[in-house]
Chain A
C-alpha cells in the first residue's frame, strides 16, 4: 500500500512475473512493466504465447506462479478473491474481441452494468451510461437492444462500458479482431481518444500492427519476457 505517498501510484506495475500452463510448459518468466497514468501500451506476440493469460493475470482472474502485480498501487497477491472482484469492478475496464454485450439488456443497461455492480442508483447509472454512449458516437440509442446494432457499434458499446466507471486501467483483448479494417480503424482511434480523455491507462493485446501503432508503447511478449517491439 502506498498510503501517505506523495507520488501517484502507477496504474499497473509488474515485477518479475512468471506463469506456466498446467502441463508445466513455461509461458513466460521475468516480466517487468511499469505504466504511467494515461499511457497506452500495446502487447503483441505469436498465438499461444500467453497474451490472454497475461490479461487474465492483470485482471486477477488467474494466479501467477511468481512475481508481483500492482493495480493502482494495490498488490493483487495481498487481496482475497472477494477483494480482487471489488478491485476489478472499481478500477478496471474491459474490452473483448467478442464484445460480450448481453442481448437481453438495452444498450444503456449494458453500459451501466459496472455502475450498477458498484451499487450506484439506477437513474444515475443510466444517465451516465447514456452520456457515455454519446461520447462513443451512439447518442440517443440507450433504449435500443443489441440485436439492432452492428458489430462496430457493439464494440463502441463495449468501450463505453469499459470507461463508464472511470477505471484506472482498461484491458482490451483483440478489440478489433472481429471487425472489418475500416471499422477497426475507427474503433481504435475512438478507443485511444476516449482512454486518453479519461486519464486511464490501457493495455491492448492485439495481432494488428495498425492497432499497435496507435499505442504509446508497443511491447512483444515472448517466453523470456516483454521486449520493446521490433527488437
Chain B
C-alpha cells in the first residue's frame, strides 16, 4: 500500500493559502497579536539592555579597568595607610588610591568628585585622566598643570555642560561641607556621555575637602598571571570593617539589582502581551478548525491521515507565528529606539539618571523572543490542532456545517480547578534570585485555569437567565445559543479574558501601590515646611541653632544622611539622623510591624531593609563605620518606606552625631508657629542662614513634595499603563475578529431563521444580546480573575521584587469602564458582523454549504 502519513507540501500550500485567502482578517489579527507581543517583549528587553550597558559602561568608566576595587562602606572612607599595604601585596601590579565625594559645582548639578593620583591611575584606570600623559613636548607642558596642579579640575563632558562653564574658567566646587575653587583645564575624554564627573588631584581633595588621612576607594590592577582568588583572599584579610572588596562581578550585580525588579516586571508585562497574542491565535485557530470541520472530514474521507490535520493546523500556527514574530522583531527594534529617545533608558522608572543610551541590539535576545513568539503561536494552535485531528469524519461530513453545539452536559472543569489550585500553591513559593518567578508562575497558572473554566463559568452564569419569563425572542435565542454552545463562547472570550484580567491585576496593584504611597507621604511629611541644602552644603551646629531660634518656627527637626554599604553586592542603604532632640527617631513613623525595647543604640529600619537583610525588631547589627567593626545597634522597629528600595536606617540625632562624628545637617523640617504662613516664613528663615547656604537652600511645602513624589510615581508607571493598554487593545481586536468570524459562519442559521419568520431586526438584536452577554461573562470573569491575580502581585510579586508591601485598593472606576468597554465592544462587533452576514439573501444562505 505504501501509505505515508502526513501532508505533501503542495497540499499544505493549497490548504493554508486557500484558508488565509478566504479569511485574511483573522490570520492578520493573529499575526498582529504575535507581532505586538514579540515587539513589546523585544523592545522592553532592548531598552533595558541598552540602559544597562550604558549604565554598566558608566560604572566601568568610573571604576576604570580596575581588576579589583576596595570601596569604603560609607563616605567617611577608610584609613589611607591601607594603600601602601595593598600596593606592596604579592600579586598586585598597581594600586590607585582615590578620594570619592558627592559634590556640586556652584550653579550646576551634582557630580562625583574624584581625587586621584594621575601617575597611579595611569596604570590602573587611564580613562580617568584628562588626556594621555603627554607624549609630545608641547602637550606635555599643558598637561603638567593638570597633572600636579592642586587648583585645577578636569570635568567629564556632561559635567562641563551642566556647569555652564568653558575650559579655562574657574568653578566653585562644594563637597563634604567644604568649598574650594578650581580652574577647569580639560575634559575627561574617557568618560561616556552622561556621567557627571570631576577629577582633581588626590592631595587637593584630601586637603580642600577635609579628607586628610582618608580614602574612599582603591583600584587594583593584578600582576599578570596572579591568582585572582588568592589575591582577593589576602586583600579581604587585610581590610578593615569600613572597607569592602568589590569585584567587577559584584559591581555588575549591584548595577543590575538597582533596576532588576523593575525590568523583570516590564519584561513580564511584555510577555503578557505575547501571551494574549497566544490566546488570540488559539481562538482564531479554534474557530477556523470548527469552521473547517467538513473540509477536514472530506480530506479524511479522501485519504488524508488524521495526523495530517494536526500537522496542517500546527503548520498554520507556525507560519502565523513566524510572520508575526518577524514583524515583531522589526517592531521591537523600532519601539526600543523610539522609547530610548522619548522615555530614556529606564523607561521612566527613574533608576538611571537622565541618559539617552544608544540602542544596543542583541541578536541572541531577538532570536530568543522570536522563538518565544513562534512557540506561543504553536501552543495556541495545539489544542485546535488536536481537535482537528479528532474530527469524526463521517459525522462532520453529514452535518455539513461548521457550527456544532456542545452536545450533552459539560464535564466539571477539574483540570482548570487543578490549575487554579496549583497557582495558589505556586504563589507561596520563595523568590528565585531576587525575582518572584513562582509569583509569575502562579499568575500564569491562575490565568490558564480561569480561561479553561470559561465554558463552565459561562453556562453557570447563563443558567439563571434561561428561567426568564417570556423574554423577547432575540434574547431567548441568544441565551439558548450561548447556553448550548459555551465552548464557542469561551473560545471567543479567551483572549479578552486573559488581557482584561491581567490589566485589572496590574491596575489593582498600581492603584494599591499609589494609594499606599499617598498615605505614606502624608504620614512621613507631618511638618509645615521642609528645607534642603544642595549637595555639598551643610548646616553646622551654630546655623542649626539660629534656624531653631527663628520666631516663625515652633519646632525644627534636622536631618542628615549618608550612604552605607553593608553588602558589596547590594546598593548602599541610607543612614539618617531623624527626630526632635531628645525624642527618638521612631517618633511619628509609619510603622510596619512590631517594635522592640532593649539596651543599646536603637535604630528604625525600613521595610525593604528588613526584608533584604532579614532583620526584625530586637535584632542587632554592626554598622561598618570604624576600622574595627564599629558600633552595634539594635532594631527598635520597622517602618514603611517607599523612598528607598534598597533600605534605609534611622537613628536619633545624638546617636548619629556620635556614630559619624558629623554634627552638620543638610535638611530640616519646620513646624511653623501658629498663624505664620509658609510664604512669610521662607524669606525669614532663609535670612537666618549664613549667606553661603542661603542661596543653596530649597524650601518646599509638604503638598509640593507630595505632588512631585506622585508625579515621579506616575511617570515610572507610565510604561506599565501603556503596555497594559496595548495588551487590552489586542484583546479587544481579538474579540472583534472572533465574533465576526463566528457570525459569518452562521449565515445558514440566519437564513433558516429568516425562513421561519424571524425579523431581520430581531436577528441583529439577537446578535447584540449574544455579544453583550458574552461581554458580561468575559468582563465578570476577567475582573474576578484580575482581582485574584492582583493579590498575587500585591502579596507575592511586589514584596519579592521591591520589598514593598501595600494595602489593596480597587480601582472601581477603571474596572467599571473596562467592563462597559468590553460589553460594548463585544455587542458592537457581533452586530457589525451580523449586518454583513445578513446582507445575503436568506435563500442563498440556506443553499450554501459553507
Contacts and interface: CB of A to CB of B under 8 A. Distances in A.
Interface of A: 52, 56, 59, 61-62, 81-83, 85-90, 92, 94, 96, 98-100, 102-105, 109, 113-114, 116-119, 122, 151, 161
B3 A86 contact: yes
Interface string B386-400: 000000011001101
Contacts of B21: 104
A109 B14 contact: yes
Contact of A89 (B3, B22, B298, B847): B3
B338 interface: no
Contacts of B299: 113, 117
Contacts of A118: 303
Contacts of A104: 18-19, 21-22
B10 A98 contact: no
Contacts of A113: 11, 299, 302
A119 B7 CA distance: 9
Nearest to A104: B18
Given A88-B301, A89-B3, A119-B4, A103 B22 contact: yes
Interface in B835-850: 847, 849-850
Contacts, number: 85
A117 B11 contact: yes
A86 B298 CA distance: 14
Given A86-B2, A119-B8, A114 B849 contact: no
Nearest to B6: A119
A116 B8 contact: yes
B14 A56 contact: no
Given A92-B303, A100-B298, 6 more contacts: A61-B301, A62-B394, A85-B5, A85-B300, A117-B11, A117-B303
B294 interface: yes
B583 to A, nearest CB: 82
Interface of B: 1-5, 8, 10-11, 14, 18-19, 21-22, 294-295, 298-306, 393-394, 397-398, 400, 847, 849-850
A159 to B, nearest CB: 14
Nearest to A151: B847
A89 B1 CA distance: 10
A82 B10 contact: no
A87 B22 CA distance: 31
Contacts of B301: 59, 61, 88, 94
Q: Which of B295, B299, B393, B849 has the most CB of A within 10 A?
A: B849
Contact of A117 (B8, B394, B398): B8
Contacts of A105: 14, 18
A116 B303 CA distance: 10
Nearest to A178: B847
Given A85-B300, A85-B303, A94-B302, A116 B1 contact: no
Nearest to A109: B14
Q: Which of B21, B22, B298 has the most CB of A within 10 A?
A: B298
Contacts of B295: 102
Contacts of A161: 302
28 contacts: A56-B394, A61-B301, A61-B393, A61-B394, A62-B394, A81-B305, A82-B3, A82-B5, A83-B1, A85-B306, A86-B1, A87-B1, A88-B301, A88-B303, A89-B3, A94-B302, A100-B298, A102-B295, A102-B298, A103-B850, A104-B19, A104-B22, A105-B18, A113-B11, A116-B10, A116-B14, A117-B299, A118-B303
B3 A117 contact: no
Contacts of B305: 81-82, 85-86
B710 to A, nearest CB: 56
Contacts of A56: 394
Contacts of A89: 3, 302-304
Nearest to A100: B298
A113 B303 CA distance: 10
B313 to A, nearest CB: 15
Contacts of A102: 18, 295, 298
B849 to A, nearest CB: 5
Given A56-B394, A83-B1, A114 B302 contact: yes
Contacts of B303: 85-90, 92, 114, 117-118
A114 B3 CA distance: 13
Given A87-B1, A109-B14, A119-B4, A100 B300 contact: no
Contacts of A61: 300-301, 393-394
B555 to A, nearest CB: 82
Nearest to B304: A117
A96 B302 contact: no
B11 A116 contact: yes
Nearest to A99: B849
A145 B8 CA distance: 22
A59 B295 CA distance: 17
Nearest to B11: A116
A15 B21 CA distance: 47
Contacts of B398: 52
Nearest to A161: B302
A83 B303 CA distance: 10
B8 A83 contact: no
A122 B10 contact: yes
A100 B306 contact: no
Contacts of B4: 119
Q: Which of B5, B14, B294 has the most CB of A within 10 A?
A: B14
- 9 smallest A-B Cβ distances: which pairs? A89-B303, A86-B3, A104-B18, A104-B22, A122-B10, A88-B303, A100-B298, A61-B394, A56-B394
A57 B10 CA distance: 30
Given A82-B305, A96-B397, A90 B1 contact: yes
A114 B398 CA distance: 20
A82 B303 CA distance: 9
B306 A81 contact: yes
A51 B203 CA distance: 106
Contacts of B306: 81, 85
A49 to B, nearest CB: 15
B397 A117 contact: no
A65 B304 CA distance: 25
B301 to A, nearest CB: 6
A47 to B, nearest CB: 13
Nearest to B4: A119
A53 to B, nearest CB: 8
A21 to B, nearest CB: 13
A99 B847 CA distance: 12
A80 B38 CA distance: 43
Nearest to B393: A61
Contacts of B22: 103-104
Contacts of B294: 100
A178 to B, nearest CB: 8
